Structure 1
Amino acid sequence: MQSGVKTLSAGGGASLCCLLLLWLIYSHLLREGQLAVGTCEIVMLNRDSSVPRRTIARQTARCACRRGQIAGTTRARPACVDARIVRSRQWCEMAPCLEGEVCSLLFNRSGWTCTKGSGRIKTVTPWAAAADFMHAFPSCSNLP
């Protein structure tokens, strides 16, 4: 009986040691400054309210997306989205607006608007670099 308890406690100690080692390796791989795959963070946000009743906001995000994905917007937050959406400029397929807002494409598909029932409208035009990126790296254009 006593040898069974010793074996059990030794096995538990070895398991704990193994978990600690795995946690150390994982935390080393996710050093400060690195993002986990499939996540985004806002690295810069500027707001200009100099014009009455109008706010111009510029946001830059950094994303670590999976293969076939690119940085986009979901629920008004940076997110990894299917690269096909950006390539085809079908922006509303990303679900970029908040709950209760309606997404509409701009007439030239250069962006989208999010409209609330109260009449408040947000117009979003993605940085031209997204389209330029797809042309500069044709291999990304062939992504599923």
Structure 2
Amino acid sequence: MQHLRVAWALAGAAAGFFLLFLIQAHLFGEGQLVAGTCEIVTLDRDSSQPRRTIARQTARCACRKGQIAGTTRASPACVDAQIVRSRQWCEMMPCLDDEGCDLLVNRTGWTCAQPGGRVKTTTVS
């Protein structure tokens, strides 16, 4: 009788741990981002035009309060929301270290000029 009680207690404990594992996996499952981080969801490239490549990227971010999805060092990142509201894109340091950043005239994006003369233009939609 004592062995039966121990077996039932162990089975109950195992079922409880399994239930906790399922709840944890559901709440904090794969696909959850850590606060302040971003990941690229889609990346499409179109090289059909000579001397020009058009790339469209979609990112998913889990930004903290006061932050919004942006670009830092040519990668998606959480940046200060005021930068995006004021369209001062170069303040979020979107270009690589050796590139120069310039705002587009209509402030719909920015350009990153590489030392060799190549220019990458990014527009925000």
What's the TM-score, normalizing by structure 2?
Answer: 0.78
Deviations 1:12-49 (A, max 9, x none): xxxxxxxxxxxx8xx74531011010000000000000
Give the aligned partner of residue 73 of structure 1. 71
Instruction: Give the structure with the larger strand fraction.
Output: 2
Instruction: Give the structure with the larger helix fraction.
Output: 1
Give the aligned partner of residue 133 of structure 1. none
Q: Quote how far apart the aligned CAs of 1:65 are.
A: 0.1
Question: What amino acid sits opposite 1:114 in the alignment?
Answer: C
Give the aligned partner of residue 61 of structure 1. 59
Q: How many aligned positions are there? A: 102
What's the RMSD between the two structures over aligned residues?
1.2
1:30/1:36 contact within 8 Å kept:
no
Separation in 1, partners of 2:40, 2:28? 18
Q: Which stretches in structure 2 are left out of the alignment for 5+ residues?
A: 1-20
Separation in 1, partners of 2:110, 2:103? 4
Q: Secondary structure at the match of 1:107?
A: coil
Q: Quote how far apart the aligned CAs of 1:117 are.
A: 1.5
> Which structure has the greater CA radius of gyration?
2
Q: Secondary structure at the match of 2:29?
A: coil
Q: Which stretches in structure 1 are left out of the alignment for 5+ residues?
A: 1-23, 128-144
Give the aligned partner of residue 81 of structure 2. 83
